[in-house]
Chains A and B, each alone.
Chain A
């Protein structure tokens, strides 16, 4: 009998890799050169960071991860290495150790300024030192100073985190690269700025240089590799393990214990590592973890899973209020992306949902005063209404808020207000007060900002107070998959009006203080502190659909329990909440945050880890060379190292799919969401498995995932996914020269806004002498704004002319619109 896959052992095959391009030409920049190297004097040296080892142990739903960064100094002189890197936003970093060749130094947690001072003094004195700062909740800077020539220094960080759990899947994510960011504002300049960042500090982002590390050229990966090992020990049987991002190897120890490693061929640090853990059917509905030692306060973390089998009756019908900011600041991409989100949401409402749309700028207007039923006609009208919205005027957000949350709650329904705004207003407090105090409709507030410079503090506080969620979509993110992911989280509320009552237990500092609704597949995670051990009950109340629901959970908070991670998770969550509050009043919670962080040995925006070696390594006469570690550009959302499609944007057609699997695999089968199953064939010339598939004409547009199963020679089955966007229709354009008057002989800027990114836009009017005139995409508009200066010829006939405007989207769909322009006067 041939061997086949062991019961829960799945792994992805190791694959080919994008090859790096040849090195770039050296430049005068001392930190550039060949992209892979550092110009030191007249020769090139490699960069110091050679390896990052990630060792994570997932116990239950809590992970403890040790990250070891290895720096090697290949130069003849002493260097100070700076490395900007990401960690999960919810990670609680609670320990750091610096390892030299023959000793190790444990880092201490200090206030940020104090840590900085200690570090600088140590480095000036020639001592080897390490400093870890938090720049953003998910961006950190590691500095290691006075690395001796030829020496290696390892810096080990430890953090704990709670794993998100959605739709029956738990996932472990380890981010590996900080992507390029849009930095607004005027450069501040200054003589003492260290050239460690790609973009200088600005008036709007004063620490821009700290969060914009230098990057390799596209395609170059550098020498740094990330070696990841995750021990999955959830305590219940594991149904499946898969990684959509990396080739992985799985070592199954038992039904409920497995070790996952990224394959040696897939260790470039240019994409986040994602491990999906499928516990479906065996995950507990309620998990309680505690920690207490001695006479100190204890900590409890509670994870409540919503029902994993949402019945139609459990899905509360929603009244969706889409509130769009159409002020002038939203013109262009932010507004177009907001409109795309609304349109996508309208197309995916549940059958019993209702909706209305409001816009606000100087004033507020609505599509309808009352929510409209979800019928095809209403949806069409709404899409038409949204498509025509334009950005202009001020931002009277308060009026919009008040209208959206006015009225009484309707039994059996939940009102969800989708706020789409950049949030740039002056009266944040008024907005929050209105949500907190005048939300008679008990609306849930979901706020979404578009762009990298939204008023995140306002949006996050709105979501927090409104028991909703926040999403910020970057300009560079594809709209529809982002929208779909966000909307998927919102569309099915399971448990609403959730409240917790701790009966007979001395609980304090519950976080989050206000518990959000539970949506389909998403768990509730609550942390709290308890002063005294004891037995009691936790009563979870809420509404399941229309009906009151409650669950009484007997709790026994122990005198002793050793899970220090729980304490760290609680503290981290408290700090997050304070940080959100602080966004509108910077520094207002500094002392609380710093005190808590110091008490729990946690890294935060106000506390840093610093480690200093006692020995003097660098003589005073030796210079110190600062070296900023370059990072590869993010790979993006596609998994091109493993597979690719000949087209990512597809009209109904017949693209190719290529999967890089072992040539001796028994089979490679692609499962398409529209029911097609294709066995791919080995293309010996390319050394890959290929297939060609036909997308039927009747399949609705949208994003689809192709699941590819690879059965290896030994019988193990592994999975890979490819996503494509089926797009058979173009979107209407917003043409700014419809029904205008033109002057002969005069030039004018013509502008066309396309809702989705366009491949080309052109104008054609024979009578005006414009023969298929191609327009030009505005830089940074993501190809949704197109301009062209055009001159009306002097002898153009007076009167009306029909102008044809044609757009072709990325999928090749062609949309044409005709507008009328009038040429003034009489020609000579």
Chain B
């Protein structure tokens, strides 16, 4: 019985263990980013923040993170949207379900359970109204609708709601406001603001409406802007993005440019200025105000007005990881739009000096780390220090420093292949000099390249439109796999090779294994959780690990497919990157042999040496450079 180690990332990266023929999934570690705060509330004496990377509880006395709860603890996913306290529990709404957290203070018992789980992803926020009964708004165009919300006008992306003694006001991202009076004798009404409704709050004088660019009051069917006035009588909009009430019921208003207001007698009064970026959520507990932001986590403003961040340092730089590599023993993660970070000395540290935070390619040859972004390529040494790409200023290197790089692979020590706008460059570093040989479409290199791999002396190039090309760097000959005999479709998202077998991930048609001229396809009918495949990683034993938009899969040498879906413990079904770290066949052989004798030792050893890292979330059409 083989022991396999599979690392699965939730919001970011986590390590998981899949072992045995039953292939159960066990999450070993999770690394998430909590900078993107979506909701904040107070519960059981603590302040709780729903973030893109889990639920975080802060101790208001110390202003520090006291607890972090993720799917590993029983939450329905880590991408959370809303919070509400209901009947002694904290309800947590997210992209993959509704969970309930029961805590007895920060140090007491903690219970987490999933109340409802859904397979689809809902980007708009959920607003849970915990009054008589919880109402969860589903804000997709094709409303599945729950309870009384079933009769909402269709076609809106509802985002928030607020309740007054006289009715409920619901806002949508397309600027629709829908008011449902409490009395049945009154008809509901709908307004069109033309701006997204970001937040709603009732403050005793009517409803406050935050559109992200304005603040308005809705009362008795009338909409009235709330503005600032200067001494000269000029008026200025308040770009309100978040609303809350203080202990006296007065409204607190957070803005898109990091300011905090309070309504005093219905008039806005500036409380604080200079918070980092867009404010997304607010709550006041005692004399302290906890402010959630879109990109910088939670801040605490104490009674004296001093502001500080309460987010734990050393988090991974983003929740959407697109590439993973090991570099000098450290795990390095490239993210969708938050740069690159490396896990060093127990903390994630961001790499400085990237020309763009949109990272498209990442590779290590053991000595150097190469990072490809939408604005060019950068080199880093073994200590993650930036190195100049070239002193020669050759045109190709100059271009690679500024043009989008879509994929990178290390061909060996100090040899690289780089896909960028003008083609694929074979880069060789000899001492201080760098030589570049550029291959273009006329040489057989396909356009719209999505990935690179290496098979012996051949470069494997994946393309969005032209399948897979094997390019021999010695003979400069190209062999293309494109027709339906070899590939189920032309849009290839990833490739991986092992011992002469080529594994090809496709955008909408599953996975193909190509051995010489023989191709085997793996589709949903064969057990793949989804045919939209984002990443594939093969090892020397003939196993292939597949990350799809519907879950993970393992394909063994016999072709049997084992899949792991949301219902089997994945916090998010969408895999975006895979990394297998190991020593190949020798490794496996040793591991298998040892297992009979020292199983516990093997487990630990396997975790270190045979680890498969999978990151989330993912998409199919990801390469912008043309």
Q: Enumerate chain A interface residues (CB-CB to B < 8 A).
A: 1-7, 167-169, 240, 278, 280-281, 309-313, 351, 646-647, 650-656, 666-667, 669, 671-677, 679, 681, 683, 685-686, 690-692, 694-700, 707, 709, 711, 715, 717, 759-760, 764, 766, 771-772, 804, 806, 808, 812-814
Indicate whether A311 sits within 8 Å of B190 (C-beta atoms), given known contacts A673-B157, A699-B140, A707-B196: yes
Size class of the B contact interface (CB-based, 8 Å): 35 or more
State the Cβ distance, A123 to closest chain B Cβ, in Å: 51
Q: How far is the CA of A169 from the CA of B194 in the complex (A)?
A: 10
State the Cβ distance, A311 to closest chain B Cβ, in Å: 6
Q: Across the interface, do B336 and A694 meet the contact criterion of CB distance under 8 Å? A: yes
Indicate whether A655 sits within 8 Å of B228 (C-beta atoms), given known contacts A309-B191, A685-B355: no
**A685 partner residues in chain B, CB cutoff 8 A:** 355-356, 375-376, 402
Q: How far is the CA of A471 from the CA of B360 in the complex (A)?
A: 45
Q: Across the interface, do A6 and B234 meet the contact criterion of CB distance under 8 Å? A: yes
**A771 partner residues in chain B, CB cutoff 8 A:** 483, 485
Q: Across the interface, do B491 and A1 meet the contact criterion of CB distance under 8 Å? A: no
Q: How far is the CA of A653 from the CA of B230 in the complex (A)?
A: 45
State the Cβ distance, A802 to closest chain B Cβ, in Å: 11
**A312 partner residues in chain B, CB cutoff 8 A:** 153, 188
Q: How far is the CA of A278 from the CA of B175 in the complex (A)?
A: 13
Name the residue on B nearest A676 (C-beta): B123
Q: Choose from B122, B174, B237, B320 the contact partner of A7 (Cβ within 8 Å).
A: B237
Indicate whether A675 sits within 8 Å of B173 (C-beta atoms), given known contacts A653-B621, A697-B120: yes
Q: Across the interface, do B620 and A651 meet the contact criterion of CB distance under 8 Å? A: yes
**B624 partner residues in chain A, CB cutoff 8 A:** 646-647, 655-656, 692
**B489 partner residues in chain A, CB cutoff 8 A:** 806, 814
Q: How far is the CA of A646 from the CA of B374 in the complex (A)?
A: 12
Q: Across the interface, do A707 and B195 meet the contact criterion of CB distance under 8 Å? A: yes
| From B122, B196, B225, residue with most partner A Cβ within 10 Å | B196
State the Cβ distance, B151 to closest chain A Cβ, in Å: 8
**B65 partner residues in chain A, CB cutoff 8 A:** none
Q: Across the interface, do B189 and A309 meet the contact criterion of CB distance under 8 Å? A: yes
Q: Tell me if B468 is interfacial: C-beta within 8 Å of chain A.
A: no
Q: Across the interface, do B157 and A5 meet the contact criterion of CB distance under 8 Å? A: no
Q: Enumerate chain B interface residues (CB-CB to A < 8 A).
A: 120-125, 139-142, 153-154, 157, 159, 173-174, 187-196, 198, 212-213, 222-223, 225, 227-228, 230, 234-239, 256-257, 270, 273, 277-278, 294-295, 320, 336-337, 355-358, 374-376, 402, 464-465, 482-485, 489-491, 507-509, 532, 549, 617, 619-622, 624, 626
Name the residue on A nearest B225 (C-beta): A7
State the Cβ distance, A346 to closest chain B Cβ, in Å: 15
Q: How far is the CA of A696 from the CA of B123 in the complex (A)?
A: 7
Indicate whether A772 sits within 8 Å of B320 (C-beta atoms), given known contacts A681-B357, A711-B257: no
Q: Across the interface, do B124 and A654 meet the contact criterion of CB distance under 8 Å? A: no
Q: Across the interface, do B194 and A694 meet the contact criterion of CB distance under 8 Å? A: no
**A278 partner residues in chain B, CB cutoff 8 A:** 194
Q: How far is the CA of A3 from the CA of B235 in the complex (A)?
A: 9
Q: Across the interface, do B188 and A311 meet the contact criterion of CB distance under 8 Å? A: yes
**A667 partner residues in chain B, CB cutoff 8 A:** 256-257, 277-278
Q: Across the interface, do B121 and A696 meet the contact criterion of CB distance under 8 Å? A: yes
**B358 partner residues in chain A, CB cutoff 8 A:** 656, 690, 692
Q: Across the interface, do A673 and B507 meet the contact criterion of CB distance under 8 Å? A: no
**B464 partner residues in chain A, CB cutoff 8 A:** 812
Q: How far is the CA of A677 from the CA of B125 in the complex (A)?
A: 11
**B122 partner residues in chain A, CB cutoff 8 A:** 675, 696, 698
Q: Across the interface, do A6 and B491 meet the contact criterion of CB distance under 8 Å? A: no
Q: Across the interface, do A711 and B239 meet the contact criterion of CB distance under 8 Å? A: yes
Q: How far is the CA of A646 from the CA of B421 in the complex (A)?
A: 14
Q: How far is the CA of A814 from the CA of B225 in the complex (A)?
A: 49
Q: Choose from A309, A671, A692, A698 the contact partner of B120 (Cβ within 8 Å).
A: A698
Q: Across the interface, do B483 and A764 meet the contact criterion of CB distance under 8 Å? A: yes
Indicate whether A812 sits within 8 Å of B192 (C-beta atoms), given known contacts A6-B235, A351-B154, A667-B257: no
A-B contact pairs, 10 of them (CB 8 A): A1-B230, A7-B227, A278-B194, A311-B190, A312-B153, A667-B278, A696-B123, A698-B122, A808-B490, A812-B621
**A666 partner residues in chain B, CB cutoff 8 A:** 257
State the Cβ distance, A139 to closest chain B Cβ, in Å: 33
Indicate whether A694 sits within 8 Å of B154 (C-beta atoms), given known contacts A309-B190, A679-B277: no
State the Cβ distance, A604 to closest chain B Cβ, in Å: 37
Name the residue on A nearest B574 (C-beta): A697
Indicate whether A3 sits within 8 Å of B483 (C-beta atoms), given known contacts A280-B192, A656-B624, A669-B278: no
Indicate whether A674 sits within 8 Å of B124 (C-beta atoms), given known contacts A1-B228, A711-B256, A814-B489: yes
State the Cβ distance, A611 to closest chain B Cβ, in Å: 44
| From A310, A655, A694, A760, residue with most partner B Cβ within 10 Å | A694
State the Cβ distance, A348 to closest chain B Cβ, in Å: 8
Query: Which applies to chain B's interface (DSSP): helix, strand, loop or mixed?
Result: loop
Q: How far is the CA of A143 from the CA of B270 in the complex (A)?
A: 61
Indicate whether A691 sits within 8 Å of B621 (C-beta atoms), given known contacts A683-B356, A804-B484: no
Q: How far is the CA of A694 from the CA of B318 in the complex (A)?
A: 14
Q: Across the interface, do A814 and B483 meet the contact criterion of CB distance under 8 Å? A: no
**A653 partner residues in chain B, CB cutoff 8 A:** 619-622
Q: How far is the CA of A700 from the CA of B123 in the complex (A)?
A: 13
Q: Across the interface, do B190 and A310 meet the contact criterion of CB distance under 8 Å? A: yes
State the Cβ distance, B568 to closest chain A Cβ, in Å: 19
Given contacts A711-B239, A715-B236, A771-B483, 14 further A-B contacts (CB under 8 A): A1-B228, A2-B273, A5-B236, A6-B235, A281-B223, A674-B124, A679-B295, A681-B337, A694-B617, A694-B619, A697-B121, A700-B141, A707-B196, A814-B508
Q: How far is the CA of A685 from the CA of B236 in the complex (A)?
A: 33
The 6 closest A-B pairs by CB, nearest first: A675-B124, A653-B621, A4-B236, A646-B624, A7-B235, A698-B120
Q: Across the interface, do B194 and A240 meet the contact criterion of CB distance under 8 Å? A: yes
Q: Across the interface, do A650 and B139 meet the contact criterion of CB distance under 8 Å? A: no
Q: Choose from A3, A698, A813 the contact partner of B121 (Cβ within 8 Å).
A: A698
Q: Across the interface, do A647 and B621 meet the contact criterion of CB distance under 8 Å? A: yes
Q: Choose from A311, A674, A695, A813 the contact partner of B187 (Cβ within 8 Å).
A: A311
Q: Across the interface, do B212 and A686 meet the contact criterion of CB distance under 8 Å? A: no
| From B159, B190, B337, residue with most partner A Cβ within 10 Å | B337
Name the residue on B nearest A240 (C-beta): B194
Indicate whether A671 sits within 8 Å of B173 (C-beta atoms), given known contacts A685-B375, A692-B358, A812-B491: yes
Name the residue on A nearest B402 (C-beta): A685
**A6 partner residues in chain B, CB cutoff 8 A:** 234-237
State the Cβ distance, A823 to closest chain B Cβ, in Å: 20
Q: How far is the CA of A783 from the CA of B617 in the complex (A)?
A: 34
Q: Across the interface, do B257 and A772 meet the contact criterion of CB distance under 8 Å? A: no
Name the residue on A nearest B155 (C-beta): A348
Q: Across the interface, do A679 and B194 meet the contact criterion of CB distance under 8 Å? A: no
Q: Across the interface, do A313 and B213 meet the contact criterion of CB distance under 8 Å? A: no
**A669 partner residues in chain B, CB cutoff 8 A:** 212, 256, 278
Q: How far is the CA of A523 from the CA of B291 in the complex (A)?
A: 45
Q: Across the interface, do A4 and B173 meet the contact criterion of CB distance under 8 Å? A: no
Q: Across the interface, do B508 and A675 meet the contact criterion of CB distance under 8 Å? A: no
**B213 partner residues in chain A, CB cutoff 8 A:** 709, 711, 717
Q: Across the interface, do B484 and A764 meet the contact criterion of CB distance under 8 Å? A: yes
**B236 partner residues in chain A, CB cutoff 8 A:** 3-7, 715
Q: How far is the CA of A771 from the CA of B480 in the complex (A)?
A: 13
Q: Across the interface, do B484 and A814 meet the contact criterion of CB distance under 8 Å? A: no
Q: Across the interface, do A311 and B192 meet the contact criterion of CB distance under 8 Å? A: no
State the Cβ distance, B205 to closest chain A Cβ, in Å: 19
Q: Choose from A677, A698, A759 the contact partner of B212 (Cβ within 8 Å).
A: A677
Name the residue on A nearest B487 (C-beta): A772
Q: Across the interface, do B173 and A655 meet the contact criterion of CB distance under 8 Å? A: no
State the Cβ distance, B408 to closest chain A Cβ, in Å: 18
Q: How far is the CA of A611 from the CA of B532 in the complex (A)?
A: 68
Q: Choose from B142, B196, B270 the contact partner of A1 (Cβ within 8 Å).
A: B270
Q: Choose from B235, B295, B375, B490 the contact partner of A686 (Cβ within 8 Å).
A: B375
**B270 partner residues in chain A, CB cutoff 8 A:** 1
Q: Choose from B173, B198, B375, B509 the contact partner of A674 (Cβ within 8 Å).
A: B173
Q: How far is the CA of A666 from the CA of B259 in the complex (A)?
A: 13
Q: Across the interface, do A692 and B153 meet the contact criterion of CB distance under 8 Å? A: no
Name the residue on B nearest A1 (C-beta): B270
